[in-house]
Structure 1
Amino acid sequence: MEEEELLGIIAQMPRETDHWDFKREWYKKDDKGSMLADIINFVNTAHHDDCYIIIGVDEDGQKIVGVEDNEYTLNRQQLQDYLRKIPFAQNWYPETDVERFTIKDHKVDVVTIFNSDNTPIFLTKEVKRKGTPLKPGVIYARSSDSNSPSDRSVSDKQMERLWKKRFRLDVSVYDRYKYLLKHPNEWTKIISNDGRENYIYTKDPNFVIKSGELREDKNLHYESFVMSELNIQINWFQIELYYGQTVIYNNFDVLLDDGSYEIVVPMLGYIYLGREHEPRSYTYYLEDDFSYLLTQFINSFNDKPHWRVNWENVEEDVVIFQNESEQKYYEELFKERYVDENRDKLSPSKSELEVVKSKIKASGWRKIDGGLDILASQLMKEHKVVQAIKKLQEEIPYDSRR
């Protein structure tokens, strides 16, 4: 949790939700069962967000009292060690964290219960606590600002929501696809009679990834996102994501290093520097976008272990952003840094152009492909923008709180 987010939640006292709860002090040693109940209830929420127990806050008096005098405080390791010993079904336990913040001269502890799709969770044995013990097989869940009763499971409607969360049936097909691509072990790779690679999600065959034919109209291109390869002339293959009979995403798949690994074509970004300067283009991935997720997914089936070494070449040639916010942040920094005084650093030198031209020739360039000087200049200009942004990422790390 970021401090700004914590302050925003505290400002809403005494309001509690299915995302957070306030506690005046830490749970006593003989009542850790109550802490366990709160954690289980927060794990079993129907949303897909992290949840928080904020300790050191008196919601009734709407003031911060701190945990300085609490003798039962736990750190992250102690809390995780405790949860590991609890008889959860499926041999699984919630992932948590404990952070300490200084707010208004007081120490406030925040227990984060990380979101999990492994819902609903429940116990296999009874766990004692003050009052009614936690029962095995009972599904406890948080709804609005309240935990479920300790003597019975949640309603059928709420149980249905938890099972939908488990299988991502409560999100769009696009978001569900992105989630499923992060679990390649749940997919089956099938080679068709004509040698094409297809992938089927084993739990729901409506999800199918199909590789298509070689695109002759885009064949033998030279791209800046393969500048670190020995052969920078690439062939493009269609790749499509189906849900049933509907194509929900399509792109191109490119084989690199003589086919030892492959990437889905990254996106092309443009940075506009004003009327007096030409726009600068560059290639990039967003970690939460299909092109990046598909690249990781496809190579997870690769039986050639050195593809991860070759992935370093891709990282040299493509900017990788966490999300669009980070992308926007570095594009603005790029404008500030390179639009005026450092503009010359983006211009390819003669020696750099000669190296690129040599690579193009070695990769099979023909005169009918276009002007060699123009092509080399275009590739190098894009590559230098990528290098400049990556340098900014090293010098000025992105902070999501900005």
Structure 2
Amino acid sequence: MEEEELLGIIAQMPRETDHWDFKREWYKQDDKGSMLADIINFVNTAHHDDCYIIIGVDEETQKIVGVEDNEYTLNRQQLQDYLRKIPFAQNWYPETDVERFNVEGHKVDVITIFNSDNIPIFLTREVKRKGTPLKPGIIYARSSDSNAPSDRSVSDEQMERLWKKRFRLDVSVYDRYQYLLKHPNEWTKIISNAGRENFIYTKDPNFVIKSGELREDKNLHYESFAMSEFNIRIYRFQIELYYGQTVIRDDFDVPLDDGSYEIVVPMVGYIYLGGEHEPRSYTYYLKDDFPYLLTQFINSFNGKPHWRANWEKVEEDVVIFQNESEHKYYEELFKKMYVDENRDKLSPSKSELEVVKSKIKASGWRKIDGDLDRLASQLMKEHKVVQAIKKLQEEKRMIAEDRTASLDFSN
């Protein structure tokens, strides 16, 4: 969770929803069953978002009280260890996280219950808690700001929504495709008579991915996303995603390292710095969007286990964001950090340009491909932006690790 999101939720006190709940203090040692009930109810929601239990907030007085004096705090590992011991059906347990934030001079803990399509979840044995125990086989689910009654399953209407979520029947064909791409084991690879690779989703043959021909009009390019390759001149092949007879999306597939692995062409971002500063372009993937998902999907079929080592080269040349929200966040942070005093760090040095020019020449450059100096400068400028954003990501990751380490591990 980002701090800005937490503050936005707290500002809505005392309003609670099927996305979050407020708690004044941590669950006591003898009442972890109530915590389990809250988590199960949040897992069994029909939306596709993460949910939060925010601890250290008094919704009645609408004040931050903090968890400083709480003796039953849990960290991420302790919470996961507890959930692993719970008798969930199919031996599957919810994925959670615990983070600590400083808000108005107090420490506030947030339990994140990550969204899952593996619903509805339920217990196979009774679990005690204060009041009515949690019963086996009952489907508990969160609706609006309330948990389900403890003595019966949710209504048929709500149960239908949960099953639709499980099979992605409540989303668009694009969202279903993105979900199915994460499960390559449910697809079958077929080689066509023309020698092209096709993929069919075994549970619904309306979903078909077809590899196309070499696109001559899109080739003979030099791209910064291949900077770590020996040959940075790329060749693009069409790849099409069908639903029935309709092409719902097409992308370009690029073989790298002499064909030992492939990537789908990353997206290109443009950061507008304002004033007289030139816009800065760079390449990136969103982990929840097609280019990244297709890249992972295709390589899971290539039978070449070393492709993941080669993937490290791609990670050096392409920024990888979790989602669009993170993408926007780092672009704004980049503007703040590099528009003025750090702008010179984005200018390639002469030695760097000479290295890139050598790689371009070794990749088969000809005069008709364009001005060598200008091409090298453009590639290196894009690479510099990628490096800068990756540095910002690493700095934020270290801050997050320090925040996690600040949790009380004594319990």
Which category of TM-score, normalised to the shorter sequence, fits these structures? Answer: 0.7 to 0.9
Write the distance in 1 (CA, Å) between the matches of 2:198 and 2:337. 40
Write the distance in 1 (CA, Å) between the matches of 2:65 and 2:330. 40
Identity of aligned residues (%): 74
CA distance 1:338–1:10, shift in 2 (3 Å): closer
1:167-206 equivalences under 5 Å are 167-206=167-206
Write the distance in 1 (CA, Å) between the matches of 2:117 and 2:264. 28
CA contact (8 A) 2:353 2:380 kept: no
Write the distance in 2 (CA, Å) between the matches of 1:91 and 1:350. 55
The one-letter code sitting in structure 2 at the alignment partner of 1:383 is: L
CA contact (8 A) 1:207 1:243 kept: yes
The one-letter code sitting in structure 1 at the alignment partner of 2:40 is: I
1:15 aligned partner: 15
How far is 1:163 from its partner?
Answer: 0.9
1:49 aligned partner: 49
Note the aligned Cα RMSD (angstroms): 3.1
The one-letter code sitting in structure 2 at the alignment partner of 1:389 is: V
Task: Name the SS for the 2:110 alignment partner.
Answer: strand
Q: TM-score, normalised by structure 2?
A: 0.84
Whose Rg is larger? 1
How far is 1:203 from its partner?
Answer: 2.5
1:325 aligned partner: 328
Q: How many residues align?
A: 394
Task: Name the SS for the 2:339 alignment partner.
Answer: helix
2:309 aligned partner: 309
CA distance 1:235–1:41, shift in 2 (3 Å): same
CA contact (8 A) 1:53 1:111 kept: yes
Deviations 1:228-266 (A, max 9, x none): 333344332210011222211102212222221111122
1:389 aligned partner: 385
The one-letter code sitting in structure 1 at the alignment partner of 2:41 is: N
CA contact (8 A) 2:346 2:385 kept: no
State yes or no: 1:67 paired with 2:67.
Answer: yes
Q: Please, which moves more after superposition, 68-77 or 186-195?
A: 68-77
1:241 aligned partner: 241
Where structure 1 has 5 or more consecutive residues not aligned to the other structure, the ranges are none
1:351 aligned partner: 354
2:131 aligned partner: 131
CA contact (8 A) 1:348 1:377 kept: no
Q: Please, which moves more after superposition, 60-69 or 30-39?
A: 60-69
CA contact (8 A) 1:330 1:389 kept: no
CA distance 1:37–1:219, shift in 2 (3 Å): closer
State yes or no: 1:147 paired with 2:147.
Answer: yes
Write the distance in 1 (CA, Å) between the matches of 2:195 and 2:348. 46
1:380 aligned partner: 376
CA distance 1:319–1:359, shift in 2 (3 Å): farther
Deviations 1:318-348 (A, max 9, x none): 4444434146336636872599756863778
How far is 1:280 from its partner?
Answer: 5.5
Write the distance in 1 (CA, Å) between the matches of 2:211 and 2:11. 52
Higher relative contact order (CA 8 A, sep 6+): 2
Return the match for 1:371 from 368, 371, 374. 368
1:209 aligned partner: 209
Write the distance in 2 (CA, Å) between the matches of 1:282 and 1:60. 48
Write the distance in 1 (CA, Å) between the matches of 2:137 and 2:372. 66
Q: Please, which moves more after superposition, 204-213 or 309-318?
A: 309-318
